[in-house]
Structure 1
Amino acid sequence: MTLAMLQTAQAKEPAQPAIAPVEQQVSPEQGGASAEASSATPPQGGGEIVVTARRRTESVQTVPIAISVIGGETLDAQGTYNISRLTQLQPTLQFYSQNPRNTFINIRGIGAPFGLTNDGFEQGVGIYVDDVHYNRIASATLDFVDVQQIETLRGPQGTLYGKNTTAGAINITTQPPSFELEGKGEISFGNLNFKQGKGSISGPLSDTIAARLSVTSTSRRGTIFNSTTNTYIQSQDSLGIRGSVLWRAAPNLDLTFAGDFNLQDPICCAFVNGGYGPTQRLANRQYPALLGYFPGYVAPTTNPYDRVTDVDAALRARNEHGGLSARAVWDVGDRSTITSITAWRYWDWTPANDRDYTGLPIYTKVNNPTVQDQYSQEFGFNHQGAGFDFVTGLFAFLQKIRTSGIQETGPAASKSLLNPTSALSNNPAVLDNVVAINDIRLDNISLAAYGKLNLEVTDRLTLSPGLRVNYDKKQGLYDSVVTGTASNGTRQIVSAVPGSPSYNDPWTAAQRGIQASQFFEPAFSAWNLSYDVNLAYELTDNVNLYATYARAFKTGGINLNGVPADADGAPILAASTIKPEKVDHFEVGIKSQFWGRRATLNVTGFWTEIQDFQANVTNGQFGTVRGYLANAEQVRSRGIEADFSIRPSARINAYLSGAYTDASYTRFVDAPCPPELSGGTVVTGSQQPGAAGVPGALSPANCDVSGQVLPGVSEWAASWGAEGNAPGVLFGETGQLYVGYDASYRSDWSSNPSPSIYTRVDAYSLHNFRVGFRTGRFDSFVWLRNAFDQNYIDLLLAGTGGNTGLIAAQVGDPRTFGGTIKFDF
């Protein structure tokens, strides 16, 4: 977890972005119409971007880390108001979200096990806002509030940023309180009833106290029409409030107190029909046949780009986050600083979902409301000596999660989920109102001590070793009580234990095939060691070489979504825990500036291998077919990244970032099978699986996907853009007329934990334009995003049951347009 930026750094001009730089200050001598009119134009050369990636302020060009930096003005200009939109600027950053709880962030193809939400494991990409670790990934879906800059650190960051940053970290810094009165506002309107407002004000309350208050609000009509409710869904409705107070308690002591509240409450979230792909299930149990069992039902469309669905269950995605923090920065003299960061955060998730993705009442509720509290405390000591500097620290983290879930089937479940040759499938009462009440709990404690040394071996060579020791302890509870109606009309517990009451009742037996009661209390604890070493060599004043080796880990976890059961119906406790990931990472890079520092070119090569990769598996080692979280033997991600930006004058700047990523399972022999190899009778003994996608064929118990690609990552990805401006006068105001263009590209990628012929997402590119006029006081522009109305998919997944052949699709945003007015005072 990062330490606070030193107050001396806060007093500097705000750090500027490394790519798409559009907000650096320019003097009149650099060609601006005036200093005031040029407030959004980059300098011709020498613009320094300051970061705190290594817990000290330094130029991004000297940091021996693959890092991208985007400033707040760039984010606003390009309409990047959350991490989802940030991916269009960061080629190796991937973001996927079915809803806030089911959200995944990957860097270079690794970070989170794709396709499964589980309270008992950690993400591999750390998110930090003003030095506070946001443990729940749902925070990544919230709108940015008054951001100063965002640093995306690629590759393991376990020494300084914590145990669970095996893929990287996203470090967000908000604007600090100011001792000069200042304020800004922003209003945007667009199609789809898009409305967004932002505002902040900051200034002194006394000679030693300054405060800042910021607010942002976004709303937009949904992009998908629900023909069942005659409403649009996938809407946006968010509010963010952040306040902070800086107290200079003494000349050498600053105290910053901050609080925030964030709320999303859209009509969301649902998938549309993405088509049909045959599986090995019996033909009379696949999607086309199932539709035939309901003569009055017709799917609204089979084309996902019609953006129409007919889901009949209630939808909700209320996502509330908030917290308080206190940060103390104490200059104790002798170029030494002590920092303390104390924080509390909460998360309240209230969902309602339709998980059969149709207008049929198959699943009427599949909801997992969750509340979380987290507490963290960090102490750090930073010293700068002659020819060296170091930072050491202690970190403590406590987390409590409570999930009270419910799953309920409806009157169409019997016909949809039971074998149609069974007489029970014709009786809606068999599976109607089968209810699972889930009590899921996690108590998580994490403690760490760390240190990082930067030693100047020579004037140009710096050696930087780092070390972190972690202790983690997790205790959980999973208690799912399933009840259904027995054949005698009484409500009975659906148990997996032979000999239990009503175990042999035919109705209860059918219900048990859908879900059975289960109880277990998993626990995990372990010590782990992370370490790294960086070598940085200043070849010239503007060319820096670096090399890194890192040994990192992601803490072990516990399964809190249920586990396989043995022949006696008891949960297999060996499957209740997962081992830590162990990461070996190698990286080399060059950071260079030339043409009077008008041009910047940074190139990075990386090779990452992970042992015991935490993944979604089908547990072949236990002889059943239930999916859960476990360890794949090994994965590998390797590739090359390049960032280029050029500022030939105060009138034009351009950038190009690209990445080639080869991310694959090195060894994963018991992976879940893709849809085309699932749904049939599981092979036993010497039987051989049947052909893929052939109804009625035999299915393997699990699949060997060694050598195949990891989900969610494109082999090729790029972003590029440019902005040009010219002096102008509008309504008597002198300023700049400007035109901006930004684009991104992704090659095709796999959207299933095991690559499937049905869930391969096609390549696409997005293009955005903006035209405006700005002065030192205001900026007014019109924008066009996804200008060519590109049809593209955000996510594909197998529908109900995973093997009926229904493919559900999450469709990307269509073309949007609008205008924005910003003003400062």
Structure 2
Amino acid sequence: MRSSNKSGFCLRACLLAGAGLAAVTAMPAAAQDVVVDEDAPSADAAGEGEGNFITVTARRREERLIDVPISVSSFSGQQLEERGAVDITDIGNYTPNVTLEPSRATNSTLSAFIRGIGQQDPVSGFEQGVGIYLDDVYLNRPQAAVLEIYDVERIEVLRGPQGTLYGRNTIGGAVKYVTRRLPQEPALKAKASYGTYNLAEGVVTASTPINDIVRVGGSVARLSRGGFGDNLTLGTENYNKDIWAGRASVEMGGYGEPVFLRIQGDYTKDKSNPRGGHREIPSFIGGAPVLDNVYDTRGGLVDPAQDVESYGLSMQGEIDMGAGLTFRSISAWRKDDSSTPIDFDALATVDFDVPGIYRNEQLSQELQILYDNGGPLTGLIGAYYLDAQADTLFESRLYTSLPTLLPQLTGYTAALVDTETYAVFADATIDLADRISLSVGGRYTWDRRDADITKQNFIFGGSGAFGTRGVVIGTDTDFVGSADFEKFTPRASISFMPTPDHNLYASYSKGFKGGGFDPRGVGANAPDLNSDSIVSDDEVAAFLSFEPEEVDSYEVGYKGSLADGRVNVAIAAFYADYKNVQIPGSQACVVSGVPTFCGTVTNAGKASFKGVEFEGSARLGGGFNLSGMLGYIDAQYDEYITNIGATPTDVAQFRKVQNTPEWTGSATLAYNAPVGDGDLYAGATVSYRGKTFQFEVPNPFLDQNGYALLNGDIVYTLPGGRITVGVHGKNLLDKRYRTSGYPYLAADPTTGTLLTVTPATQTALAGTCPAGNYPVGGYYPALGCEGTMTTFYGNPREVFLTVGFKL
């Protein structure tokens, strides 16, 4: 693997941070984020925080939710606490047409989809379709992006393309995780939780002013839980949690001062055991039966030890320059390292095992000038820079038919992919009349992708990156290349507000995601390999690369407050035309006579999404409140071109949009009222997700039929408001539901239908695999000999008690 051209990375980080600090301190901040009154009634108590009248910063300025002409959901910190939310994936249960879940065999890598657009593959080379922001800092990679919820002010979910208001262009939507600003008075908060599966968690938050201008504070969190099941081979717990996390910040100004500056650092250490998958089929050779407990596994891979570490520094400054102008700077540096062993076959033997390492580092700088003097015109202009490095190392360890001579066949992949992005953007809203406003915006993005990809095959061991070094028997890919992508993406919306309580709007936005290089691609498969000509670097690059994708998104909606504010609703209908869709994948392949594991990324073609979303809340009287959401989406591929043999074939009729159920919904009935001298909150939530396809090719073992989950919460605040006691129940009906998996059984390349053993293939299997259960009419493996059909499940029933204290 060639060395990264990153010698100046830290130097540039220091220079950019220094430039941002100099810009902030040389001039003067209207606070962007809303300071929440923690003693105010909860969101549910007031009908979801008065529904459309809660304040958000979805358009980079404080405004009522009802005034925002885009689809956005917002959850306050107190609301999340009352509902016992644990991490960012819980938000998916309350937001229409949104999927947030841990990625397959990981605990902390995030798979995010909004309205059919997302990215499930966590390896370097692929941009995410949904932007995750931690205090306005874009997280470039999905590793360590399953953010634990603590010390949070609110979380916002924006659906549809983003780019004229936010640092990084995102084609599907954005999730904003906003932490609390430090208060002006000394403060201390602590919360402890204990529950089933030996859940034991604690969070302590403290802050104090140094003087009238400077404040310091931070939080420390210990998050632990026993496993839902066991690894029967290793004797360890499966699906456990073992996390230390913390944040610290120094703030200056704000609270009426013209200058606000925050310097913040965060750190997370995750030593949870690797998540082992559940085999959905008996093993073909050993005859190991399907385990009764879906949270149990037999996976035997132990190297590398599971270890996830992420940390970062950011500096945010705002200056009120007068005359309605505000200057803002956001400088950030982040780094994360993940080591994870993935036992695809979930058996003690080495049949298809993949140890992996992910190393990511990023540096970003954003500058904005905002204008809002209370007149008919508001707007902003901004510039954004991102320099990010993603390094992926993994081995594919496969069973060999000659265990005495070739005890292990290992395919090694090392991919270093650098992304450098520059962008300028602007957005403005003008009141055309008392009741009509027009918003227009645009963004120009320049992306550069540099890739260094090596793929080799070893026998008698591996690459040396994960232990013993074997003997190289072939190099499939040895590639260094780069590509540039640039695009202008506009946005426009018009709003009509007949009264301040009602907003009718229509919007259009274009989304764009740059292309790249498949880190698992096999350069030896370049088009001219079998001809007399020499394969050029350009030909290899063309085989490994994929082009940008685009989406044109249209939306009409209504937001309103009815019955004197007791009922609040938001309804949106949308249509998206998705072009040049990037479909990353992997499959069994044979290169130079050697079975291996190949990337299959393609720009498959076209897709269209249309749907309706509803969110609402109502105060029913007597302390009762009802809130909920409903999402419907018709997501389909209109064209899906793939090579069947050497013939391009449209297989759209056989493909599905992954991680996008047709229906999503939830309903929460809550009761909030004084009891004694304290306050009681009691709520029950039912959430529903329709049938979900885990991949584009339907699979009867992996795909999850529709299901509902029931949660319940009771929280009592003692007199004085300093102590709270809560009992929370998750998945109270103990539903088993699949969230992801690995399918490697032989399938028809057109329809995706799993193939069955014929007399001819039975004879072929006898020549490559030891004697096993390969009856005619049964399934047979695509990689290894045991067959891989492994799934991962959502959490079972959990009940836990929380006690909170604050000064």
Determine if the TM-score, normalized by the shorter chain, exceeds 0.5: yes
In structure 2, give the amino acid aligned to 1:381: I
- Deviation of residue 560 (structure 1)? 1.2
- Deviation of residue 807 (structure 1)? 2.1
SS of 1:772's equivalent?
strand
In structure 2, give the amino acid aligned to 1:345: R
Q: Which residue of 1 aligns with 2:762?
A: none
| Runs of 4+ residues deviating >4 angstroms | 6-13, 43-47, 617-620, 622-626, 682-685, 800-803
Matched, 1:484 2:459: yes
Q: Is the 8 A contact 2:244 2:269 kept in 1?
A: yes
Match of 1:445 among 404, 409, 420: 420
Distance 2:496 2:508 in 1: 15
- Deviation of residue 399 (structure 1)? 0.8
Q: Which residue of 2 aligns with 1:728?
A: 675
- Deviation of residue 43 (structure 1)? 7.0
Q: Which residue of 2 aligns with 1:557?
A: 516
- Deviation of residue 443 (structure 1)? 1.8
Distance 1:45 1:400 in 2: 41
Q: Which residue of 2 aligns with 1:641?
A: 613
- Sort the Cα spacing of 1:544 and 1:39 in 2 relative to 1 into closer, same or farther, 3 A: closer
TM-score w.r.t. structure 1 length?
0.82
Q: Is the 8 A contact 1:178 1:212 kept in 2?
A: no
In structure 2, give the amino acid aligned to 1:823: F
Matched, 1:108 2:76: no
Distance 2:47 2:236 in 1: 49
Match of 1:820 among 781, 802, 807: 802
Matched, 1:197 2:202: yes
- Sort the Cα spacing of 1:433 and 1:629 in 2 relative to 1 into closer, same or farther, 3 A: same
Q: Is the 8 A contact 1:352 1:367 kept in 2?
A: yes
Q: Is the 8 A contact 2:43 2:79 kept in 1?
A: no
Distance 1:317 1:89 in 2: 31
How many matched pairs? Answer: 716
Q: Which residue of 1 aligns with 2:473?
A: 494
- Deviation of residue 40 (structure 1)? 8.2
Matched, 1:750 2:693: yes
Per mean C-alpha deviation after superposition, the further-off stretch among 779-788 and 444-453 is 779-788
TM-score w.r.t. structure 2 length?
0.83
Q: Is the 8 A contact 2:280 2:701 kept in 1?
A: no
Q: Is the 8 A contact 1:176 1:212 kept in 2?
A: no
- Sort the Cα spacing of 1:684 and 1:44 in 2 relative to 1 into closer, same or farther, 3 A: closer
- Sort the Cα spacing of 1:554 and 1:332 in 2 relative to 1 into closer, same or farther, 3 A: same
Q: Which residue of 2 aligns with 1:221?
A: 226
Matched, 1:577 2:545: yes
- Sort the Cα spacing of 1:366 and 1:669 in 2 relative to 1 into closer, same or farther, 3 A: same
Distance 2:551 2:43 in 1: 44
In structure 1, give the amino acid aligned to 2:36: P
Match of 2:723 among 760, 778, 782: 778
- Deviation of residue 485 (structure 1)? 5.1
Distance 2:49 2:391 in 1: 53
Q: Which residue of 2 aligns with 1:719?
A: 666
- Sort the Cα spacing of 1:443 and 1:100 in 2 relative to 1 into closer, same or farther, 3 A: farther
Q: Is the 8 A contact 2:122 2:142 kept in 1?
A: no
Q: Which residue of 2 aligns with 1:654?
A: 626
Q: Which residue of 2 aligns with 1:253?
A: 259
- Deviation of residue 248 (structure 1)? 2.4
Q: Which residue of 2 aligns with 1:506?
A: none
SS of 1:85's equivalent?
helix
Q: Which residue of 1 aligns with 2:466?
A: none
- Deviation of residue 80 (structure 1)? 1.4
- Deviation of residue 760 (structure 1)? 2.4
Distance 1:714 1:822 in 2: 37
Q: For residues 193-227 of structure 1, give each alpha carbon's deviation from its aligned partner in whole angstroms, at most 9, with x where no partner exists.
A: 11111121122111110122112221111112211
Q: Kindly, what percent of the aligned residue pairs are identical?
A: 27
- Deviation of residue 650 (structure 1)? 7.2
Superposed CA RMSD in Å reads: 3.0
- Deviation of residue 171 (structure 1)? 0.9
Matched, 1:795 2:740: yes
- Sort the Cα spacing of 1:183 and 1:654 in 2 relative to 1 into closer, same or farther, 3 A: farther
Q: Is the 8 A contact 1:766 1:790 kept in 2?
A: yes
SS of 1:74's equivalent?
helix
- Deviation of residue 639 (structure 1)? 0.3
In structure 1, give the amino acid aligned to 2:572: T
Which 5+ residue runs of structure 1 have no aligned equivalent?
16-22, 27-37, 277-286, 292-296, 415-424, 496-515, 672-681, 686-700
Q: Is the 8 A contact 1:145 1:242 kept in 2?
A: no
Q: Which residue of 2 aligns with 1:698?
A: none
Matched, 1:545 2:490: no
Which 5+ residue runs of structure 2 have no aligned equivalent?
1-19, 462-468, 748-779, 782-786
Distance 2:510 2:572 in 1: 18
- Deviation of residue 766 (structure 1)? 0.6
SS of 1:749's equivalent?
coil
> What aligned pairs does 1:79-98 form with structure 2 within 5 A after superposition?
79-96=84-101, 97-98=103-104
- Deviation of residue 258 (structure 1)? 0.5
- Deviation of residue 308 (structure 1)? 2.4
- Deviation of residue 145 (structure 1)? 3.4
Q: Which residue of 1 aligns with 2:391?
A: 402
> What aligned pairs does 1:699-714 form with structure 2 within 5 A after superposition?
704-706=651-653, 708-714=655-661
Q: For residues 155-202 of structure 1, give each alpha carbon's deviation from its aligned partner in whole angstroms, at most 9, with x where no partner exists.
A: 111222245411100011100112111221111100101111112112
In structure 2, give the amino acid aligned to 1:260: D
Q: Is the 8 A contact 2:423 2:445 kept in 1?
A: yes
- Sort the Cα spacing of 1:393 and 1:478 in 2 relative to 1 into closer, same or farther, 3 A: same
Match of 1:464 among 427, 439, 442: 439
> What aligned pairs does 1:142-157 form with structure 2 within 5 A after superposition?
142-157=147-162
Distance 1:335 1:353 in 2: 54
- Sort the Cα spacing of 1:142 and 1:211 in 2 relative to 1 into closer, same or farther, 3 A: same
Distance 1:13 1:520 in 2: 50
Q: Which residue of 1 aligns with 2:36?
A: 14
Distance 1:306 1:314 in 2: 20
- Sort the Cα spacing of 1:313 and 1:395 in 2 relative to 1 into closer, same or farther, 3 A: same
- Deviation of residue 643 (structure 1)? 0.4
- Sort the Cα spacing of 1:789 and 1:100 in 2 relative to 1 into closer, same or farther, 3 A: closer
Match of 1:209 among 211, 214, 217: 214
Q: Is the 8 A contact 2:30 2:258 kept in 1?
A: no
In structure 1, give the amino acid aligned to 2:582: Q
Match of 1:42 among 39, 46, 56: 46
> What aligned pairs does 1:342-491 form with structure 2 within 5 A after superposition?
342-363=331-352, 365-385=353-373, 386-409=375-398, 413-414=399-400, 425=401, 427-484=402-459
Matched, 1:268 2:274: yes
Q: Is the 8 A contact 1:45 1:598 kept in 2?
A: no
Match of 2:635 among 663, 667, 674: 663
Q: Which residue of 2 aligns with 1:513?
A: none
In structure 2, give the amino acid aligned to 1:313: L
Match of 2:139 among 134, 154, 175: 134
Q: For residues 537-558 of structure 1, give each alpha carbon's deviation from its aligned partner in whole angstroms, at most 9, with x where no partner exists.
A: 1022211011101122111122
- Deviation of residue 320 (structure 1)? 1.4
- Deviation of residue 55 (structure 1)? 1.1
In structure 1, give the amino acid aligned to 2:371: H
Q: For residues 66-115 of structure 1, give each alpha carbon's deviation from its aligned partner in whole angstroms, at most 9, with x where no partner exists.
A: 00000111112222121222211223111241115764210012121x4x
Distance 2:142 2:443 in 1: 23
Q: Which residue of 1 aligns with 2:577?
A: 609
Matched, 1:519 2:525: no
Distance 1:51 1:346 in 2: 29
Distance 1:660 1:146 in 2: 33
Q: Is the 8 A contact 1:794 1:812 kept in 2?
A: yes
> What aligned pairs does 1:225-304 form with structure 2 within 5 A after superposition?
225-248=230-253, 251-275=257-281, 290-291=284-285, 297-303=286-292
Distance 2:591 2:360 in 1: 35
In structure 2, give the amino acid aligned to 1:160: L
Q: For residues 450-487 of structure 1, give each alpha carbon's deviation from its aligned partner in whole angstroms, at most 9, with x where no partner exists.
A: 1001010001111000010111111110112322259x
Q: Is the 8 A contact 2:281 2:289 kept in 1?
A: no
Distance 1:538 1:458 in 2: 10
In structure 1, give the amino acid aligned to 2:432: V
Distance 1:323 1:394 in 2: 21
Distance 2:540 2:160 in 1: 35
SS of 2:507's equivalent?
strand
